[in-house]
Structure 1
C-alpha cells in the first residue's frame, strides 16, 4: 500500500466520519475533498472537477425541475386527494394504494419531494381513521425508497452507475432496465408492510407537526360566523349583469352583496377568477357572494338580476383550495390605514382580495365589515388568490399575514397547467425510451417546455434544484478517480475476491450488496454508488464475467436504505411525525433489506446473465 493510497483512504475515512456526525454540511465536505485532492497533487485540476462536466449531473438537476413542475401544477396533490377518496376508511386499502402511488410518482420525480407531499395526507387519514400515523408513515418512506428502483431516472445512484458504465466504454442501462426488479420489490414491500405494521401498532403518541396547530378553512368559517352567509348564484341567459363591470353594477351598495369569487369555464373546466372592479361578467359565470351585510330578500335579488341559486356545500372552500386562498391579516402598528374602513381603503381594488370577516378582541364582528373603521389589533379574514395573499404579507407595510390555513400547503400556483405538466413528463419519458436522444437532452427539452407552458417560472426552477445534492455528487466523484489512480480499487477488489471470489459470481453479488448496505448506513446512497460502482465493474473484470449484474446490484443496494432513520432523507422526514425510535427502523428495515438482497441476487442474473 503506497503513501498516496493511504492518503486517499484517510481522506475517505474523514469524509465518512463527517457525513455520519453531521457536524459539517455534506456539500461542504465534498468541496473540501476536491480542495484536498488538488492541493495534495493526488489529482489534477481537470480530474478533480470532472464531475461538473458529467452529463448526468445536468440530468439530475433537470429532474428536480420536472418534479417541481408536478408539484406547482398540483399533479402530486391531486393524487393525494384521489388516494383519500378511493381508500375510504380501509387501512389496508390505504396502505396498498399509498405505496403504489408514491412508488409511481417517485419513479419520475424526487422521492424526498413525494414523501414530503404525502406526509400531511397520511396524518389527515390517520386522524380520520383514528389510527396511529406510525402504521402508515413507515410504509410511506419505504415506498419512497423503492421508487428509486422503478426507472433509470428515479434516483441519482441509478444514474451514477449508468454513468460509470458509459465511462468504461460500455452501453449504459435503458430507461426501464431496473423496472422489473423494482416492481417485484414493491410487491414484496407491500406484503411485508401489511404484516410488519403490527409491530408499530402500539405507537399511540403522535407528533403531528405544526400543520395541526394551524387553522383550517372550516375552522375559520366557524370562527368568523360565515356559515350561511355565502351564496352561489349562476348568471342566467339574459341577465342584466352580463357584459357589465363589477364596479359599475354597485352590487354592494344596492343589495349588500360582496362578490368574492367568480367561477368561469376555461379549457373545459371551471376555474376560479379573482373578481376585480373591472371584471366583466359572462353568461354561465357562477358568482360566490357574501350576503352578510344584506337586508335584501335573496329571491328579489335573483329575480331582478336573473340569477339562479346553486348548491353550496360545506366543503366548498376546501375543495377549491387550489383556486381560493383564505388567511387572517392584521394592521401593523402605526399603519396609515388605522381608522379607515375597508371601503375607504378600496381594499379589493388596491390588493385584489376581499375582506369577508373581522375579529375584534377575539370576537367576530357581526355588522357590515366594509364600513367599520379599522382599529389596531383587529384581525381581518381575507379571501382571494394565494399569490395575492402572499404578496400582501411580503410587499406591504400596512398588513401582516398572521395565519395561513392548512389548505395553503395544497395550493398550487400553476394548477391550471397540470395537463401541460403531464404532457412534458410523458414526452420526456418517450424521448428517453427512443435511445436516439440522450437522457439529459430529453430532460432539458421537458424543462424548457414546462417553462413555456408556465408550469414553472425561472425563479422556481432554480429554487427547485437541490444544489447540496448536486455538489455532493460532483465532490464525491473524484474519490473513484483517486482510488483507481492510486490502486485502491484493485486492493478492494482483491479483498472482495478473497472473501467472496471462491463462491463464484453469486457470492460476489452478496458481498457487493452487503458492502453497499454497510457503507450506506453512514453516508448517502448517492455517495455510496459513486464509491462502489467502479469497484463493482473492476470485480466483474477480474472474474471475467459481465459487468451488468454487478452494476445493477450496486444500484439496488444503494436504494435499499431501509435500516436506519439517517440512511436516507425520506426516513428522516417521517421520523418525527411518526414518533419513531431509531430501533423501529432497525427492527423493520433490517429484515426487509435482507429480503431485497435475496431477491436481487436471485433475480438480477436472470435479467442480466453473467
Structure 2
C-alpha cells in the first residue's frame, strides 16, 4: 500500500464514520472530505470542484426541476387521483399504492413521488380503519424499487451511467436499466403486496373520536370583559403576559359576530372580544387569572364550549377543528397536519424563536413525535426532522409558507387538478425530452435541463420554484464526492480493494461474486447516502472487471441495484426517513420487511444481470 492509498483510505474511513455518526449533515461531511484530499494534493488543483459540473450532478438537478413542473401541472396527481376509489382492504391498498409510486418513481425523483402520495396513503389508512404504519413503509420501499427501472429514477443510476464512460463505452441509456429493474420491481412489489406488508409493525391508530391531535378537547372560548386589563392591548402583548408559564395558542377572534380566524398578533383587543384558544386546563386557568379574561356565557366549568354556544358561533367542525385538514372560516383558513422534512429550516428551532405567526402567518397548534403528541409547551418545542405538526393558517398563503419552511402536507388534501392545457403541455415537454434521450439525439443532462428550462419559460413553474425544487444538499454531496471517488481510483486504491476481493473469492463463480458485491453495496447504502455508496463502489467494480471474465456493465449494474435498494434502516434513503414519524416506526422496524426484501432483490437481480449484461 502506498502513502497516497493509505491517505485515501483514511479519509474515506473518517468520512464513512462521520456519515454514520450523523452529527454533521452529509453534504458538510462530503465537502470536508473534498477539502482534505484537495489540500493534500490527491486531486489536481484545477479539478477540485469539477464534480459540480459533472453530467451526473446536472442531470440530478434537471430531474428535480422537471419533477416539480410535472407536479405543478397536475400530471402526477392525475395518475394518483383514482386512488381515492380503491377499496379499504389492506392488500388492495398496498398493491395499488406501491404500484403507482413505483410507476411515478421511474420517471421522477423517487423521494418526490413518495412525498406526493404519502398524504393519500395516510388518508386511505384512516378510511380503511387501520394504522398508517401498514401502508407507509411499503410505499417508501415501492418508491425505491420503482427508481431502479430507468436512468432518471434515482441518483445512483445516473452516477453509474456516467462511470460507464470510463470503460470506453457510451453512458447507459434511459431504458438500459429496464430489463433488470422491471423484473426486480415486479417481484418486489408482488412480495410487498401479498406478504411483506404483514411484516410491518402494526401501530395503534387513533379512531376518528381519538385522533393524533384531539384539538377539540383543548379548544375553548374566552372573553375580554369590561374593564379588563387586556382591553386596548395587542394580541401579541396578551400572549407575552402568559408565555413564560402557560401554553396558549390563539386560533381565532370573534367581534360583533364577525370571525377573524388566525388573526394578526398586532390586532388590538376590545371589550367584548371573544378569543378561540387552544390550551390545556392549567394554561387556560392561568390565562384567565393573569390576563383578566373570563369564560363567556354557555361555557361549562370544564372549559368546553357547550352545544348552544357552538351553534351561535359557527358549525361544530369549524369551531372545534375536528375535521382533519378542514377550514375554520368558510374555506379561507386551513388546519393541516404536516411533516418536517430532512432539509427543513425548522430543524433545531422553536416556533417562538422563528416567530412563525408574525413572519409566516402560521399557528403551530400541536406537535407529535413517534406517533404521540408532545406534552410540552408548543412554542418552546425544538423541532426535529420527521416531527408532525398541526398548523393553522390562511389558505391563500399556507401552502407557500409550508414549502418555504420545508414542510410537507400529511393529512387528507384535495389533489391538484390543473387545467388540461397545462397538463398536456407538461406531459409534452417531458415526452420530447424522453424521446430525445431514447433516440440518442442529446445526452441526459442536456435533455433534462432543456425540459426544465422549457417548463420555466412556459410558466409551469417560476424560477424561484425551480431553485427551491432542487435538493441542494444532494447536489453538494455529489459534487464533492465525485472527485473523492476519482482519487480512490487514481491512487490505485480501488484496484487494491479489488485485488483483496479477488484473493478472498478468486475461486468463486460469477454468481456469488456479484451477489457479494451487491450485498456490500447494499450494506454501505444503508448507513450512508445511496449516491455516496455508488460513487465509492463504482471504481472498485471497474477494477474488478479488468481482472475477471465478468463485463464492467454487469458489475456496474450490480452496484446500481445495490445502491438503490436500501431497505434496512431509516437513514439509508430519504424515503425511509420521511415515513418514520408518520408511521410511528422505530429504527429496528425496517429490517423486518427490509431484510427479506433485500434478499429477494439479490436472488432476483443477479441472474438477470448476468443474463442481460454479461
* TM-score, L = length of structure 1: 0.70
Structure 1 segment 104-115 matched on structure 2, within 5 A: 104-115=103-114
SS at match of 1:151: coil
Give the whole-Å Cα distance in 2 for the aligned partners of 1:539 and 1:531.
14
What's the CA shift for 1:329? 3.0
Q: Deviations over 1:529-579 (max 9, x none)?
A: 001111111111111442111111110111110111211111111112222
Q: CA separation of 1:17/1:155 partners in 2, compared to 1, >3 Å: closer, same or farther?
A: same
Answer whether contact 1:134 1:200 (CA < 8 A) is retained.
yes
Q: Deviations over 1:344-387 (max 9, x none)?
A: xxxxxxxxxxxxxxxx997568599xxxxxxxxxx98254699x
What's the CA shift for 1:157? 0.5
Report the equivalent of 2:187. Answer: 188
Report the equivalent of 2:262. Answer: 329
Answer whether contact 2:362 2:393 (CA < 8 A) is retained.
no
Tell me, which stretches of 5 or more residues in structure 1 are unaligned?
217-222, 224-292, 294-325, 341-359, 369-378, 387-392
What's the CA shift for 1:479? 2.2
Tell me, which stretches of 5 or more residues in structure 2 are unaligned?
221-256, 274-297, 300-304, 315-326, 335-354, 364-390, 400-408
Report the equivalent of 1:599. Answer: 604
Report the equivalent of 1:268. Answer: none
Report the equivalent of 2:30. Answer: 30
**Aligned mate of 2:573, from 568, 572, 576:** 568
Q: Which moved more, 1:417-426 or 1:103-112?
A: 417-426
* TM-score, L = length of structure 2: 0.69
Answer whether contact 2:264 2:358 (CA < 8 A) is retained.
no
Structure 1 segment 252-263 matched on structure 2, within 5 A: none
**Aligned mate of 2:392, from 399, 403, 411:** 403
Answer whether contact 1:160 1:530 (CA < 8 A) is retained.
yes
SS at match of 1:567: coil
Answer whether contact 1:549 1:605 (CA < 8 A) is retained.
yes
What's the CA shift for 1:73? 2.6
Report the equivalent of 1:273. Answer: none
Report the equivalent of 1:501. Answer: 506
Give the whole-Å Cα distance in 2 for the aligned partners of 1:441 and 1:137.
35
SS at match of 1:330: coil
Report the equivalent of 2:122. Answer: 123
Answer whether contact 2:361 2:393 (CA < 8 A) is retained.
no
Structure 1 segment 159-238 matched on structure 2, within 5 A: 159-193=158-192, 194-200=194-200, 202-205=202-205, 213=213
Q: CA separation of 1:131/1:482 partners in 2, compared to 1, >3 Å: closer, same or farther?
A: same
Q: CA separation of 1:413/1:130 partners in 2, compared to 1, >3 Å: closer, same or farther?
A: closer
Structure 1 segment 237-248 matched on structure 2, within 5 A: none
What's the CA shift for 1:200? 3.0
Q: CA separation of 1:505/1:120 partners in 2, compared to 1, >3 Å: closer, same or farther?
A: same
Q: CA separation of 1:583/1:174 partners in 2, compared to 1, >3 Å: closer, same or farther?
A: same
Q: Deviations over 1:215-250 (max 9, x none)?
A: 99xxxxxx9xxxxxxxxxxxxxxxxxxxxxxxxxxx
Mapped pair 1:75 → 2:67: no
Mapped pair 1:91 → 2:90: yes
Report the equivalent of 2:594. Answer: 589
Give the whole-Å Cα distance in 2 for the aligned partners of 1:596 and 1:62.
29
Report the equivalent of 1:150. Answer: 149
What's the CA shift for 1:174? 1.6
Report the equivalent of 2:450. Answer: 445
Mapped pair 1:553 → 2:501: no
Report the equivalent of 1:313. Answer: none
**Aligned mate of 1:529, from 529, 534, 550:** 534
SS at match of 2:584: coil
SS at match of 1:24: coil
Give the whole-Å Cα distance in 2 for the aligned partners of 1:414 and 1:175.
29
Report the equivalent of 1:415. Answer: 418
Q: CA separation of 1:206/1:583 partners in 2, compared to 1, >3 Å: closer, same or farther?
A: farther
Report the equivalent of 1:286. Answer: none
SS at match of 2:263: strand
Give the whole-Å Cα distance in 1 for the aligned partners of 2:260 and 2:526.
43
Answer whether contact 1:156 1:526 (CA < 8 A) is retained.
yes
Q: Which runs of 4+ in 1 moved over 6 A?
A: 336-340, 393-402, 411-414
Answer whether contact 2:429 2:454 (CA < 8 A) is retained.
yes
Report the equivalent of 1:381. Answer: 329
Q: CA separation of 1:200/1:400 partners in 2, compared to 1, >3 Å: closer, same or farther?
A: closer
SS at match of 2:329: strand
Q: CA separation of 1:147/1:469 partners in 2, compared to 1, >3 Å: closer, same or farther?
A: same
Answer whether contact 2:333 2:392 (CA < 8 A) is retained.
no
Q: Which has the larger radius of gyration?
A: 1
Answer whether contact 1:328 1:382 (CA < 8 A) is retained.
no
Give the whole-Å Cα distance in 2 for the aligned partners of 1:598 and 1:509.
11
Q: CA separation of 1:35/1:59 partners in 2, compared to 1, >3 Å: closer, same or farther?
A: same
SS at match of 2:571: coil
Give the whole-Å Cα distance in 1 for the aligned partners of 2:333 and 2:128.
32
Give the whole-Å Cα distance in 1 for the aligned partners of 2:68 and 2:441.
26
SS at match of 1:403: strand
Report the equivalent of 2:66. Answer: 66
Report the equivalent of 2:18. Answer: 18
SS at match of 2:509: helix
Report the equivalent of 1:41. Answer: 41
Give the whole-Å Cα distance in 2 for the aligned partners of 1:149 and 1:327.
50
Answer whether contact 1:152 1:174 (CA < 8 A) is retained.
yes
Report the equivalent of 1:454. Answer: 459
Q: Deviations over 1:450-483 (max 9, x none)?
A: 1122111100000110000011011111222211
What's the CA shift for 1:29? 0.9
Report the equivalent of 2:477. Answer: 472
What's the CA shift for 1:599? 1.2
Q: CA separation of 1:590/1:333 partners in 2, compared to 1, >3 Å: closer, same or farther?
A: same
Give the whole-Å Cα distance in 2 for the aligned partners of 1:602 and 1:545.
13
The alignment of Structure 1 onto Structure 2 pairs a total of residues equal to: 469
Q: Deviations over 1:329-350 (max 9, x none)?
A: 324334599999xxxxxxxxxx
CA RMSD for the aligned pairs?
3.7
Q: CA separation of 1:397/1:197 partners in 2, compared to 1, >3 Å: closer, same or farther?
A: closer
Give the whole-Å Cα distance in 2 for the aligned partners of 1:551 and 1:397.
49
Give the whole-Å Cα distance in 2 for the aligned partners of 1:458 and 1:88.
40
Answer whether contact 1:215 1:405 (CA < 8 A) is retained.
no
What's the CA shift for 1:171? 1.7
Structure 1 segment 271-286 matched on structure 2, within 5 A: none
